[in-house]
Amino acid sequence: MYGRYRPYPLIAKWNSTHFAPLRGISRRMTRFFSRRLLVNIAVVLAALGANAFVACERIGGLRDSDDATLRSMSLLRDLSAYRSALAESLTQLSRFEATGAAETVASHDAREAHLDALESGLRAQISMEPGMTGSFDALVVRAAVMRHDSTEALERAHNAAPSESRTWADTSFVQLGEDQQAVDEELSALRARIDTATTIALDRSAQASSNAMLLLVFTMLAGSAVLIWLFASHERTSREKLGIPRARHNSNECFRGMFEAHPVPMWIVDRETMRFVAVNPAAIAHFGYSESEFMSMTPGHLHHADDFS
């Protein structure tokens, strides 16, 4: 009885093209998360690199300051030994004046050899310290004068007769004392330069450590800011992801409401089997079939065979 009736069907054919936008969104989200992961790794690597750089700077600074301290201690120790060896001539002259026993030539030559060795070692160490060579040269000049006066006093002591007066030793002792004072002045100037160089090296090491610490703090703050931004972005993206299915659900509900309330007969069919999968109440009222009957039918059952000839 309904075979000749031509309805106004709205046939929705579901296929894979309906899901293409969703697949595009999924791919973009995957790319975003990949970039976010790479940024996280980059931030962590930057933090590790900053820590390693600070550690290297601090270790290098400590090594430099330790080297400078050791060099200064070695220089000061050798300078003290150098002065003590020079002052030994005063002790020997004083003993000769008191007892008449002069220093042996072998002892004097051994002291001179010791002074030469100390002088050579000090010159090698001083050459590694910028700006100190001139001060050491001035010290060597003063020491050479004292050594010359000491040698002359020794020769006179050896040539003196036992009964000869030793009053000349007082004059030589005063001369050697003045020589010793001049040596001490040059030693004080050289020690001051060594102390200044050591202080500069320590200050430079402390400044390098401070700069490295500032870099570490800046890197940590910048890394924290980037991570906070990434977490906030991730939170926003997560909310957007949650909003997509919610929007789909709302859209489906809206479509279902329109589908159910529409006065025109409407249905949805399966693309492969062409069987009805859903019909609205208007179609049930219009064609007189129940919903379960529609589920076993196709759109062809609603038309007369002549409609397709």
| pTM reported for the whole predicted model | 0.54
pLDDT at 83: 92
Q: Are residues 117 and 90 in the same domain?
A: yes
Res. 6 pLDDT band, cuts 50 70 90: very low
Q: Are residues 263 and 157 in the same domain?
A: no
Q: Residue 32 pLDDT > 60, yes or no?
A: no
CATH number for 205: 1.20.1420
pLDDT digits (tens, 9 = 90+) for 248-281: 777 777 778 888 888 888 888 988 888 888 898 9
Both structure tokens of 191: 């020690």
Both structure tokens of 198: 């050591």
Mean pLDDT calculated for residue range 21-39: 58
- The torsion angle over the Cα atoms of residues 95, 97, 102 and 103, rounded to 10 degrees, is 40
Q: Are residues 55 and 143 in the same domain?
A: yes
Q: Are residues 212 and 123 in the same domain?
A: yes
Q: Are residues 48 and 140 in the same domain?
A: yes
What is the percent of the chain where pLDDT is above 90?
17
pLDDT at 36: 64
4 assigned to some structural domain? no
Q: Are residues 33 and 45 in the same domain?
A: no
Mean pLDDT calculated for residue range 144-148: 93
The residue range of the domain holding 108 is 40-229
pLDDT at 151: 92
- Mean residue pLDDT of the chain comes to 78
- Provide the number of structural domains found in the chain: 2
Q: Are residues 49 and 96 in the same domain?
A: yes
Mean pLDDT calculated for residue range 78-104: 89
Indicate the residue among 201, 229, 257 that finishes a domain.
Answer: 229
pLDDT digits (tens, 9 = 90+) for 63-84: 777 777 888 888 889 999 999 9
198 assigned to some structural domain? yes
Q: Are residues 142 and 225 in the same domain?
A: yes
32 assigned to some structural domain? yes
Q: Are residues 111 and 203 in the same domain?
A: yes
